[in-house]
Amino acid sequence: MNKRFVLQSATALLLAAALSPLLAQDKPIKVGVTAGPHAQIFEQVKKLAEKDGLKIQIVEFSDYVQPNAALATGDLDANSYQHKPYLDQQIKDRGYKIVNVGYTVNFPIGLYSKKVKSLAELKEGAKFGIPNDPTNGGRVLLVLQDKGLIKLRPEAGLKATPLDVIDNPKKLKFVELDAAQLPRSLDDLDASAINTNYALSAGLSPAKDAIAQEAAKSPYVNLIAVREQDKDKPWVAKLVKAYHSEQIRKFVQTEFKGAVVTGF
């Protein structure tokens, strides 16, 4: 009897171990996104992933800080909202064990104004809004340098700040604000750089309303991030596969008409 009991117990344990990955799939994978295009795209990814046996629960955020914090603590399984320079800075500043598992889309950042129709019309001393996080702030300064409005120290790189500006003929005054607040700054400032996801949420069309835009090809392609310990799990491969499908590529092209471009 004892031998039979031991054998039955061992068989039950082996069966439970074999079934556990299958049972785990019944629990949805929580993916954090920012409202707007990232959320819209992931609604399509969710449908495709379900056909491959992967259930996804989409969790929307209104800022850039919380999705990584939630991922690091295990409240999320993945997030999709940030580019690599931002993730690299977050890892450096906060020590997150988070990794990139696949590139997604790029949002060429736009420059907007309710007071002028071109950058050339900006007057001396104009107040210009930029994101207050190091990576997006530096990104905007690089765009302004590319457009000939300022010159940065060559060694400043992607993390340039207003302190790195060495030539500023128009004497632009940079006003650093949280990226989500920049659409509301247009009434008070002469111009603002606004990340495309926030611009679209505010009813702005990058193609029609921006007075200038970043080049489509840049280091700022967005990505899917997971905890380092999860990067080789089967559900991660399924998630990336669904996102990198031709259906998603076509959806992005059709839905956003150039305001968002695929980076995969």
| pLDDT score recorded for residue 25 | 54
In angstroms, the CA 109 to CA 115 distance is 19
* Share of residues in the chain with pLDDT > 90 (%): 78
| pLDDT score recorded for residue 14 | 47
pTM of the predicted model as reported, rounded to 2 decimal places: 0.73
- Exposure of 115 by Cβ count < 10 A (0-12 exposed, 13-18 middle, 19+ buried)? middle
In a domain, 9, yes or no: no
Tell me: do 85 and 119 sit in the same domain: no
Tell me: do 209 and 136 sit in the same domain: yes
| pLDDT score recorded for residue 20 | 44
Q: Is pLDDT above 80 for 244?
A: yes
| pLDDT score recorded for residue 57 | 98
Tell me: do 159 and 254 sit in the same domain: no
| pLDDT score recorded for residue 13 | 46
Amino acid identity for residue 199 in this structure: A
Coil, strand, or helix at residue 130? Answer: strand
pLDDT in tens, 10-39: 444 444 444 444 444 579 999 999 999 999
pLDDT in tens, 84-119: 999 999 999 999 999 999 999 998 899 999 999 999
Domain of 124, CATH number, reads 3.40.190.10
Q: Is pLDDT above 90 for 240?
A: yes
In a domain, 47, yes or no: yes
Domain boundary among 194, 213, 232: 213
Of the listed ranges 119-133, 140-154, 182-196, 209-223, the least confidently predicted one is: 209-223
Tell me: do 195 and 207 sit in the same domain: yes
Q: 131 near 140, Cβ under 8 Å?
A: yes
| pLDDT score recorded for residue 217 | 74
| pLDDT score recorded for residue 207 | 85
In a domain, 73, yes or no: yes
Average pLDDT of every residue of the chain: 90
Tell me: do 101 and 172 sit in the same domain: no
Tell me: do 77 and 91 sit in the same domain: yes
Q: Residue 73's domain spans which residues? A: 29-107+219-262
Tell me: do 152 and 200 sit in the same domain: yes
Q: Is pLDDT above 90 for 218?
A: no
What total number of domains does the chain contain?
A: 2
In a domain, 119, yes or no: yes
| pLDDT score recorded for residue 107 | 87
Tell me: do 75 and 133 sit in the same domain: no
Q: Is pLDDT above 90 for 246?
A: yes
Q: 25 near 54, Cβ under 8 Å?
A: yes
| pLDDT score recorded for residue 53 | 96
Q: Is pLDDT above 50 for 189?
A: yes
Six-digit token pair at 132? 């207050």
| pLDDT score recorded for residue 5 | 45
| pLDDT score recorded for residue 203 | 93
Tell me: do 98 and 226 sit in the same domain: yes
Tell me: do 100 and 117 sit in the same domain: no
| pLDDT score recorded for residue 135 | 85
Tell me: do 65 and 115 sit in the same domain: no
* Share of residues in the chain with pLDDT > 70 (%): 91
Q: 182 near 198, Cβ under 8 Å?
A: yes
Tell me: do 115 and 199 sit in the same domain: yes
- Among the listed residues 131, 26, 133, 37, the one whose alpha carbon sits nearest the alpha carbon of residue 80: 37
